[in-house]
């Protein structure tokens, strides 16, 4: 009799995604899904038509492995007017299967096993397994309650421990923080002083509130050569299932990323890249309307949560809110999230999946509000059934 099939050490240290698991539980209990961050409203008609047309026109074979030329050209143009970055579409851009693949490809291309990288916590859950898969070792730096700011001395100490890189997600999932220019300048200073790279996940760059402006870290003095700017189409154009993302880096780093990307996936879906090229030509009014719509969704969601008795900090960007549920007399996030999905009919994400050690998140759950008004209103009605114990 043969022994049991073996699995590699590198997959022993992380679990399956809790966010995706909450979506499965949501579907099982026919609940309202405010867990996994994907829209339940339609994507723009123009890009759906463009994707259909591309398939009809037989753009059905591999695109250039690092991205269809027109998509990269249009990306460079948009990066000029929106992000203020000077990008060469042939040298600096690699199109990937979502920002998720961009991040892991960038890490595999630049970090050696044993290298240290800084992760701000609470963190988006992919970053920890990304590190495990790359063989790199995370150093966690806390975003402290109540306002989710890092402590400068703690950040400096993390760099001084020999960090080769930092991952920064701005606007931030799950905290809703948008880091200020002063905060980013401080970080840039440390990256330069310690010769570290920055992986910036800017997937929520267009989802900002109260007049805030997006600042790409790569635009700060001295950062263009050491920043890998990552983003994608999922959130800005409401197409999370298309899996079209990209990263922007120096020619040298891009060459390394392209090698990893090529052998991991060959390329992102060709017809959807054509539709992405159309999306990038949307006028500024599209992005203005996106902000208006998200501002309304934010207020529907936050007022429902406030009325129900959750505590939370202001949300400055992205479409999540980390809440403290201590008012309901329960003190374990997984237990509370399961109660919420089964008994109340609203799915959230347990706070522990955003922290290391996980116990730091035991009084928190995350909600997302990238949903139709009706969905948010219905969820709010269900949440009124929660009983406050204080
Ligand atoms: N970024 C989204 C979230 O945090 C979706 C994650 C995912 O499932 N890829 O919920």
Task: For residue 100, report the distance from its CA to the centre of ligand 1, in Å.
Answer: 9
Q: End-to-end alpha-carbon separation of the chain, Å? A: 60
141, two tokens: 């730096």
Q: Are 318 and 172 in contact (CB under 8 A)?
A: yes
Is the C-beta atom of 361 inside 6 A of ligand 1? no
Residue 338 CB coordination number (10 Å): 17
Residue 390 CB coordination number (10 Å): 7
Report the largest interatomic distance among the alpha carbons of the chain, rounded to a whole angstrom: 66
- What percentage of the chain reaches a pLDDT higher than 70? 99
Angle formed at CA 359 by CA 354 and CA 364, multiple of 5 degrees: 60
pLDDT of residue 5: 72
Location of structure tokens 């237990």: 335
DSSP secondary structure letter of residue 248? E
The confidence band for 1, taking pLDDT boundaries of 50, 70 and 90, is low
Task: For residue 19, report the distance from its CA to the centre of ligand 1, in Å.
Answer: 7
Q: Is the pTM of this model over 0.85?
A: yes
pLDDT of residue 13: 81
Task: For residue 97, report the distance from its CA to the centre of ligand 1, in Å.
Answer: 14
Task: For residue 259, report the distance from its CA to the centre of ligand 1, in Å.
Answer: 26
104-162: pLDDT as tens digits: 999 999 999 999 999 999 999 999 999 999 999 999 999 998 899 999 999 999 999 99
The confidence band for 389, taking pLDDT boundaries of 50, 70 and 90, is confident
Residue 5 CB coordination number (10 Å): 5
Please report the domains of the chain, with CATH numbers, ordered by start residue. 9-43+285-389 (3.90.1150.10), 57-279 (3.40.640.10)
| 54 sits in which H/E element | helix 45-56
Q: Are 134 and 111 in contact (CB under 8 A)?
A: yes
Q: Are 34 and 347 in contact (CB under 8 A)?
A: yes
272-294: pLDDT as tens digits: 999 999 999 999 999 999 999 99
- What percentage of the chain reaches a pLDDT higher than 90? 94
Ligand 1 nearest atom to the CA of residue 36, by list position: 10
318-363: pLDDT as tens digits: 999 999 999 999 999 999 999 999 999 999 999 999 999 999 999 9
Ligand 1 nearest atom to the CA of residue 37, by list position: 10
Nearest one of 375, 369, 331 to 350, comparing CA atoms = 331
Question: Which residue has the least CA distance to atom 1 on ligand 1?
Answer: 37
Region 254-269: mean pLDDT is: 98
Is the C-beta atom of 122 inside 6 A of ligand 1? no
DSSP secondary structure letter of residue 351? G
Give dist(CA 358, CA 367) in Å, integer. Answer: 18
Question: Which residue has the least CA distance to atom 3 on ligand 1?
Answer: 37
Q: By three-state DSSP, how is residue 205 classified?
A: coil
pLDDT of residue 129: 92
Say which range, 7-11, 98-102, 117-121, 181-185, has the weakest mean pLDDT.
Answer: 7-11
230-255: pLDDT as tens digits: 999 999 999 999 999 999 999 999 99
The residue to mutate among 124, 174, 348, 353, having the most atoms of ligand 1 within 8 angstroms of its beta carbon, is 124
Is the C-beta atom of 126 inside 6 A of ligand 1? no
77-113: pLDDT as tens digits: 999 999 999 999 999 999 999 999 999 999 999 999 9
Question: Which residue has the least CA distance to atom 5 on ligand 1?
Answer: 37
Q: In this model, does residue 25 exceed pLDDT 70?
A: yes
Per-residue burial over 229-244, b if 16 or more Cβ lie within 10 Å, else e, is bbbbbbbbbbbbebbb
Region 357-374: mean pLDDT is: 97
Ligand 1 nearest atom to the CA of residue 35, by list position: 10
Nearest one of 358, 356, 352 to 19, comparing CA atoms = 352
> Could you tell me the sign of the dihedral formed by the alpha carbons of 51, 53, 57, 58, in that order?
positive
pLDDT of residue 2: 63
Q: In this model, does residue 176 exceed pLDDT 80?
A: yes
Burial (CB < 10 A; 0-12, 13-18, 19+), residue 45, is: exposed
């Amino acid at each position: 009799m043969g022994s049991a099939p073996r699995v590699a050490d590198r997959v022993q240290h992380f679990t399956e995604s809790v966010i995706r698991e909450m979506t499965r539980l949501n579907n099982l209990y026919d609940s309202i899904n405010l867990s996994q961050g994907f829209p339940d409203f339609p994507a723009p008609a123009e890009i759906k038509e463009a994707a259909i047309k591309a398939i009809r026109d037989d753009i059905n074979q591999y695109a250039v492995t690092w991205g269809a030329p027109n998509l990269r050209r249009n990306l460079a143009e948009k990066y000029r007017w929106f992000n203020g970055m000077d990008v060469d579409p042939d040298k600096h851009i690699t199109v990937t299967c979502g920002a998720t693949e961009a991040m892991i490809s960038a890490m595999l291309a630049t970090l050696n096993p044993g290298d240290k990288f800084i992760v701000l916590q609470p963190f988006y859950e992919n970053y920890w397994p990304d590190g495990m898969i790359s063989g790199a070792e995370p150093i966690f730096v806390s975003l402290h309650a109540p306002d989710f700011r890092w402590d400068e001395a703690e950040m400096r100490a993390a760099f001084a421990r020999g960090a080769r890189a930092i991952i920064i997600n701005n606007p931030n999932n799950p905290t809703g923080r948008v880091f200020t220019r002063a905060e980013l300048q401080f970080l840039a200073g440390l990256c330069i002083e310690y010769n570290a790279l920055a992986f910036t996940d800017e997937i929520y760059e267009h989802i900002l509130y109260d007049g805030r402006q997006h600042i790409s870290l790569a635009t700060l003095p001295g950062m263009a050569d050491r920043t890998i700017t990552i983003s994608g189409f999922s959130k800005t154009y409401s197409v999370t299932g298309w899996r079209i993302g990209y990263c922007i880096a120096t020619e040298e780093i891009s060459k390394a990323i392209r090698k990893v990307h090529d052998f991991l996936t060959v390329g992102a879906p060709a017809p959807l890249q054509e539709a992405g090229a159309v999306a990038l030509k949307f006028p500024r009014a599209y992005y203005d309307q996106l902000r208006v719509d998200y501002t309304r969704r934010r207020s529907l969601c936050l007022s429902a949560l406030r009325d129900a008795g959750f505590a939370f900090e202001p949300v400055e960007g992205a479409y999540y809110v980390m809440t403290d549920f201590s008012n309901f007399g329960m003190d374990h996030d997984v237990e509370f999230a399961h109660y919420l999905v089964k008994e109340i009919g609203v799915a959230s994400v347990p706070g522990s999946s955003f922290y290391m050690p996980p116990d730091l998140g035991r009084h928190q759950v995350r909600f997302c509000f990238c949903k139709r008004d009706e969905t948010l209103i219905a969820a709010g009605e269900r949440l009124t059934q929660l009983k406050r114990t204080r």
